[in-house]
Each structure stands twice: as C-alpha cells, then as structure tokens.
Structure 1
Amino acid sequence: MVQPLGYLRESASQTAGPYVHIGCTPNFTGIHGVFETDLGSGPLVNDKTKGERITVRGRVIDGSGTPLRDALIEIWQADADGFYQSPSETRGTADPNFLGWARCPGDMATGEYVFETIKPGRVPFRDGRLMAPHITFWIVARGINIGLHTRMYFGDEAEANAEDPVLARIEHKVRVPTLIAEREGNTYTFDIYLQGENETVFFDM
C-alpha cells in the first residue's frame, strides 16, 4: 500500500556561518581544549617534502568588492609528482611527507587566507589527458548555503593551461582568467570573487 508522504517536510537550509569557525576551527576562535590543534591547520610540508615551495594567498570577495572576514577555505592538491594523498590513489605512491589537504580561516581583520605548500604535478583527466597543475578550493562562509568548489591554476604554466581539458570546457573563455593565479617571487595570489564582473568560475562537484 502506498503511503502519503505529505507530512514529511523538507528541513530549512542553513548557511555555514556564523558557527562554522566554532565547529571547524575552535582554537582559532579562542575555544581551547576541544582539539589540541584545529584540523587542517598543521603544515602541508616538512623539510623532506619533494617539490617547489610556494605560498598561496588571497581573499574571498563579495559582490560589493568587500573581502569576507568569516570565510573558511580548504584546499586539496596532488604532490609534486602528480599523486594524491588518498586511499583511492592507484597510479602510484604519494609523497609521505606531503599532506595534500589543509584548511585556513580568513583573517578576521583583512579576510586574507594563506597556505604554505608546494607546486603540484600534473594529474590525468578521466580520459587520460593530463590536466595542468592546479589546486582545488572549497569555500564556505555566512550566506553560502552549499560549499563552493573552484580551482586555482598557475599563471606561469601557460602551455599546460592551454592543454587542460577542464579549462577547455569553460564556454565563456573570457572567464578563464578568474581561475589563474599570478606569481610574484614564490607567491601566487588568488582572490575568489563570489559575484560581480570578475566572478570566479565555480564547479558543480
């Protein structure tokens, strides 16, 4: 017998903030004793990690051009040889001295995030073509109902970027630069725009 389900109502959606930092980075918010350190706040690299050391920094910016001061950013990337630190990695063994994942709350005054990491190697797309070196970003903040996924590509990898199958799928090529971080010294700057003329390309993942 079919039973009516009209009494089951969809729960109201919630944004990530303002409690996301309390749950994910309690030490950052001044709540100590829950965890020794906040998950994902440790170093990605150590003195044995293979690859070129780089700094990635930027801000998450709203439609008015104002940096968010309560964003939480996570990154996930391959190691210098293009292997992921994951149980599903079957192509080879990832560098045991590279974590591959990190979490950073934006600075409460400036909104800036900073990651000290290494430049990743190229990894294959599902059809075997090599993707350009990139770092995957996940962003949550007050006012964002579902975490946003995007990628950061490297401005000094023009040849690899031109071959990248994901970038090639972006219909409006004028928006591709929103995924490209420019380099100054060993630092790449990647500002993420949630809305507006320079809105970053986000992916449905």
Structure 2
Amino acid sequence: MNTVKLTPSQTVGPFFSHALTWLDGPDVVAEDAPGAIWLRGRVFDGAGEPVPDALIESWQADPDGRFDHPDDPRGAVPGFRGYGRSATDDDGRWGIRTLLPGRVPGVDGRLQAPHVDLSVFARGLLDRVVTRVYFADQPSNSDDAVLSALPADRRSTLIAPRSADGYTFDIRLQGERETVFFSL
C-alpha cells in the first residue's frame, strides 16, 4: 500500500520584491488628489519588535461609499483605485495614500462607519490576516455593527487616531494590545 504524505505548510513570507510589483504601490489616489490623506503605521510581532518584511494591502470605498469594482455599477470617484499595497521598511513602517472612505451598507442593510479593510502578509503566518481601520473622529463609529459586536476593551485596536497628514494605525500581530483580526 502506498502512503501519500501531506505537503508541509508554508508561511506567507518572506517576500521577494521582484514578485510584488504593483505599479501604483501605496497610492490609492494621486498625490495631488483633493482630500488625499496618508494612512500610516507600523507592524509589530508578538515580542513588540517591528516586522521589516510584511506587506499591507488595503481595500476601501471612495468618499461617497462607492467601490472601484465591477460589482458596484455606480463606479468610484475618477482616479480612485480603492486598492493599495505597501511593504514595510526596516522599522516596520507602512503607508497608503488614500481618501477618507464613505459609509457603506452592512449585511443587515445598516450603514457602517467609514473604514478601510487591510490584509497583512508576514513571515510566520500561514495565511493573511484581515483587519479594519476605523477613524477616531467619526461619530458613526458608535453605531457601527462590527465595532459594537467587539468587546469594549478590544475596539480601540481598530481605531486610528488623527495625525498631521492623515491617520496612524499600528498593527500588532500578537501579544499585548493585539489588533483584532477577522475570520473570512
């Protein structure tokens, strides 16, 4: 009888820059787009050390709550791509140039607070992890169904405070103040 062995699992990193070319990179909008902001942060591992070889991908609606996607026939604001990709640097820093997103309907039909979906790929992960970024100065955060479903002490891991040129959102893969990740 032949026995077939399973192929061992592989982690999603390290990454090779030549295989990750995305011409628009971190630019969801052009540098001179009206209302452009930066969403920046750092990625930390469970020991609190920066992750220098992670990749962050963003997906979001435009300021009117529309997506640059064939499933949204309304179309997005001209020049808005909805998608960005940023590798981390040696200090775990990443950044996406974008626009503040609008509200979109949730599965229950209620409007969600403005947010950006992030996928994180990094060494040691068998698959990407997915999280959301909400913006600290948005009154609709208080009635967002996803945020409200989280324990009160965990919600703050998804809230990005204002910075000089946008918002700051650090991602903690494990440990104290671990970012909330969602199962898809």
Query: TM over 0.5, yes or no?
Result: yes
> Stretches of 4+ moved more than 6 A in 1?
none
**TM-score (norm: length of structure 2):** 0.91
**Taking structure 1 as reference, are residues 149 and 71 closer, same or farther at Cα in structure 2, changes over 3 Å only?**
same
Write out per-residue CA displacement over residues 14-37 of structure 1, whole angstroms, 9 at most, x where no aligned residue: 111123534214xxxxxxxxxxxx
Q: Answer whether contact 2:26 2:95 (CA < 8 A) is retained.
A: no
**Taking structure 1 as reference, are residues 183 and 42 closer, same or farther at Cα in structure 2, changes over 3 Å only?**
closer
Shift of 1:150: 0.1
Is 1:202 matched up with 2:181? yes
Shift of 1:8: 4.8
Q: Answer whether contact 1:40 1:104 (CA < 8 A) is retained.
A: no
Q: Answer whether contact 1:78 1:85 (CA < 8 A) is retained.
A: yes
Write out per-residue CA displacement over residues 134-170 of structure 1, whole angstroms, 9 at most, x where no aligned residue: 000000111111100000000011x210110111221
Q: Percent identity?
A: 44
Q: Answer whether contact 1:53 1:116 (CA < 8 A) is retained.
A: yes
Is 1:13 matched up with 2:5? no
Computing the radius of gyration over CA atoms, which structure comes out larger, 1 or 2?
A: 1
- Can you give the 5+ residue segments of structure 1 that lack an aligned partner in the other structure? 26-37
Paired residue secondary structure (2:86):
strand
Q: How does 1:48-87 map to 2 (within 5 A)?
A: 49=33, 52-87=35-70
Q: Answer whether contact 2:26 2:96 (CA < 8 A) is retained.
A: no
Paired residue secondary structure (1:41):
coil
Question: Which structure's relative contact order is higher, taking Cα pairs within 8 Å and 6+ residues apart?
Answer: 2
Shift of 1:42: 6.1
Write out per-residue CA displacement over residues 179-198 of structure 1, whole angstroms, 9 at most, x where no aligned residue: 00000233211000011110
Q: Answer whether contact 2:26 2:86 (CA < 8 A) is retained.
A: no
Amino acid at match of 1:141: A
Q: Answer whether contact 1:40 1:101 (CA < 8 A) is retained.
A: no
Q: Which one of 71, 93, 102 corresponds to residue 112 of structure 1?
A: 93
Alignment match, 2:147: 167
CA distance in 2, matches of 1:87, 1:199: 34
Q: How does 1:173-188 map to 2 (within 5 A)?
A: 173-188=152-167
Shift of 1:47: 7.1
CA distance in 1, matches of 2:31, 2:158: 30
- Can you give the 5+ residue segments of structure 2 that lack an aligned partner in the other structure? none
Stretch of structure 1 that moved more, 15-24 or 143-152: 15-24
